[in-house]
């Protein structure tokens, strides 16, 4: 095979950026496959912890429908990675159910592979015992107790499970957690194209049109030979430039050149980016080196507690000029009241946490805020985190009064210090999670962490 052609159907399935026309335009170039990433950790640990998706079902269905019908008509595979945001097993099943509905509505039959990437606690404890879990830098502390406390852990698959799915005859691959770039690299590597080019093409395509000079709605197209690949875009007002493609390797990466994957690392330092005369960008010189071990990145979330928040504004300049002292006194009052009412065993900073954000002053930058002038108005957000929702809500209820009427020297008599936004004041946020792993697993075989199921949908 001399040339392989493929598109990024979406940079985030469910984000509503898939349009039928640019997909049609790209299909005229005799594509070999379509891929689309459907997940991220960027939105936070909630999806991984709770199992919910970041996008409504209808939004995922709308995007997937365009891509699945197009791929099916062209007779080419469609690969979806990191299904349902976090790529949990239940997320894979959720997207398969959506795909099945689309297939039935469009009267098509699709050989589908579900690739599951969730990891059991027993398996992870075994890996830990055998010293097969390695910390990346920086990493939170991980021990057996953390593994037992984890809600869900997924392993990030590389190209190998996707290749097995394609070899097994899948025309639709619904993947659990997946390296974004692997979605695009899997088939070119199978067909003998250089790994450096295959992975690099995936790297620049996985965010969809964000690789453009200005992002918009459309598809990113690549044609790859054995010494370079050329990127083009289809969609209104979209263009790529050598600099926009080169700069994309900056985006959301700590290192602009080295990108670590399961089977090795991309090295993009020696790459060349050249404009072609049909508006594309030709990329060459992408390198890939195999690591000393096959590693699988782990992502896991633990529940840190339950939250309740109180939101209110402060406008009186007398209060605002005393804000630091006022807040310290209010916090002490809340902590004393919690002890007196709920019991002395509840310790602030251990059994519950009070964080007060000062929007308008330094909520965004915190201690790193350089601006010191006081604003005209401050929005205070009191965030209570406790081990149960019941306790978090009670502490927020107890906090309402100290925030409402805590005095300052300027005024005598009863004064109201905050303009609350809501009634009731506390807003319950439910369970909140933290990412508990920045680690890789070193599995005994490349296959053992990923399970596959073939189903015929439609």
Judged by the rule CB under 8 A, the positions of this chain that interact with other proteins are 41-46, 136-140, 242-243, 246-247, 249-257, 271-273, 304-305, 353, 355, 357, 363-368, 370, 383, 385, 432-435, 438
* Closer of 269 and 410 to other proteins (Cβ): 269
Question: Which residue number, 141 or 345, has a Cβ lying nearer to other proteins?
Answer: 141
Nearer to other proteins, 75 or 254 (CB): 254
Dmax of the chain from CA atoms? Answer: 85
HSE toward the beta carbon, residue 228, CA cutoff 13 A: 14
Tokens in use for 442? 């070193």
Say if residues 74 and 140 touch (Cβ distance below 8 Å): no
CA-based R_g, the chain, Å: 26
- Cβ proximity to other proteins: between 57 and 434 the closer is 434
User: In the bound complex, what is the minimum distance in angstroms from residue 432's beta carbon to other proteins?
Assistant: 7
Host H or E run for residue 187: helix 182-190
Minimum gap (Å) between residue 12 Cβ and other proteins: 14
Q: Where are the alpha helices (DSSP H) in 266-362?
A: 317-321, 323-342
Q: How far is the CB of 40 from other proteins (least distance, A)?
A: 10
Measured CA to CA, the distance from residue 233 to residue 390 in angstroms comes to 52
> What DSSP character marks residue 13?
T
Token reading at 239: 């263009």
Q: Nearest approach, Cβ of 364 to other proteins (angstroms)?
A: 5
> With respect to other proteins, which residue has the nearer C-beta, 9 or 305?
305
* Sign, CA torsion 254/255/261/263: negative
257 closest CA partner among 244, 268, 270 = 268
User: What is d(CA 228, CA 273) in angstroms, rounded to the nearest whole number?
Assistant: 10
| For other proteins, the closer CB: 41 or 209 | 41
**Residues facing residue 81 across a β-bridge:** 37
Q: Is 260 exposed, middle or buried (0-12, 13-18, 19+ CB in 10 A)?
A: middle
Given the complex with other proteins, which of 370 and 409 has the nearer CB atom? 370
How far, in Å, CA of 229 to CA of 181, rounded?
Answer: 15
Tokens of 223: 């044609």
> At closest approach, how far in Å is the CB of 369 from other proteins?
9
**Residue with structure tokens 């350089």?**
370
Closest contact distance (angstroms) between CB of 96 and other proteins is 27
Instruction: From residue 345, give the alpha-carbon distance in Å to each of 303, 335, 336, 352.
Output: 22, 12, 12, 11
Closest approach of Cβ 298 to other proteins, in Å?
A: 12
Work out how close the CB of 445 gets to other proteins at its nearest, in angstroms, rounded to a whole number: 26
Q: Where are the alpha helices (DSSP H) in 14-120?
A: 20-27, 46-50, 57-74, 89-105
> Least separation, in Å, of the C-beta of 110 and other proteins?
33
Question: At closest approach, how far in Å is the CB of 368 from other proteins?
Answer: 6
Query: CA 72 to CA 455: how far, in whole Å?
Result: 15
> How many whole angstroms separate alpha carbon 180 and alpha carbon 40?
9
Structure tokens at 337: 């009241």
Please, which residue, 256 or 407, has the CB nearer to other proteins? 256
**CB closer to other proteins out of 105 and 252:** 252
For other proteins, give the closer residue by CB, 185 or 384.
384
CB of residue 127 to other proteins, shortest distance in Å: 20
Q: Tell me how crowded residue 405 is: count the other CB atoms within 10 A of its CB.
A: 13
Closer residue to other proteins (CB): 22 or 300: 300
């Amino acid at each position: 095979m001399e040339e392989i052609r493929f598109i990024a159907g979406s940079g985030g399935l469910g984000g509503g950026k898939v349009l039928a026309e640019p997909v049609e335009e790209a299909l005229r170039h005799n594509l070999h496959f379509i891929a689309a990433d459907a997940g991220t950790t960027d939105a936070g640990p909630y999806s991984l912890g709770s199992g919910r998706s970041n996008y409504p079902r209808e939004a995922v269905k709308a995007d997937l429908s365009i891509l699945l019908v197009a791929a099916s008509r062209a007779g080419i595979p469609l690969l979806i990675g990191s299904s349902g945001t976090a790529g949990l097993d239940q997320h894979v099943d959720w997207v398969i159910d959506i795909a099945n509905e689309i297939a039935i509505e469009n009267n098509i039959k699709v050989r589908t592979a579900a690739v599951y990437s969730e990891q059991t606690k027993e398996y992870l404890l075994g890996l830990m015992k055998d010293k097969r879990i390695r910390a990346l830098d920086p990493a939170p502390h991980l021990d057996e107790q953390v593994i037992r406390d984890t809600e869900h852990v997924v392993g990030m698959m590389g190209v190998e499970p996707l290749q097995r799915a394609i070899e097994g005859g899948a025309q639709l691959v619904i993947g659990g957690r997946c390296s974004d770039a692997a979605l695009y690299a899997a088939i070119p590597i199978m067909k003998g194209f250089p790994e450096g080019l295959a992975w690099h093409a995936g790297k620049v395509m996985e965010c969809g049109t964000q690789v453009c000079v200005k992002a918009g709605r459309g598809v990113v197209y690549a044609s790859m030979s054995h010494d370079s690949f050329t990127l083009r875009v289809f969609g209104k007002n979209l263009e790529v430039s050598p600099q926009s493609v080169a700069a994309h390797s900056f985006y959301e990466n700590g290192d602009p050149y080295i990108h670590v994957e399961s089977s090795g690392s991309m090295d993009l330092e020696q790459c060349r980016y050249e404009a072609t005369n049909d508006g594309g960008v030709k990329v060459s010189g992408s390198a890939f080196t195999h690591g000393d071990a096959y590693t699988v990145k782990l992502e896991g979330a633990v529940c840190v507690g339950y939250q309740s928040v109180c939101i209110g504004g402060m406008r009186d300049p007398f209060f605002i000029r005393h804000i630091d002292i006022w807040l310290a006194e209010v916090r002490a009052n809340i902590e004393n009241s919690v002890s007196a009412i709920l019991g002395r065993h509840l310790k602030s900073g251990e059994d519950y946490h009070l964080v007060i954000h000062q929007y308008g002053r330094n909520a965004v930058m915190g201690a790193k805020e350089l601006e010191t002038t006081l604003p005209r108005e401050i929005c205070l957000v009191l965030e209570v985190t406790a081990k149960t929702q019941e306790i978090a809500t009670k502490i927020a209820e107890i906090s309402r009064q100290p925030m409402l009427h805590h005095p300052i020297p300027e005024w005598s008599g009863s004064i109201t210090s905050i303009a609350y936004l809501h009634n009731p004041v506390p807003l319950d946020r439910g369970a909140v999670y933290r990412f508990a792993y920045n680690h890789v697993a070193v599995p005994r075989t490349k296959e053992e962490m990923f399970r596959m199921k073939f189903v015929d949908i439609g």
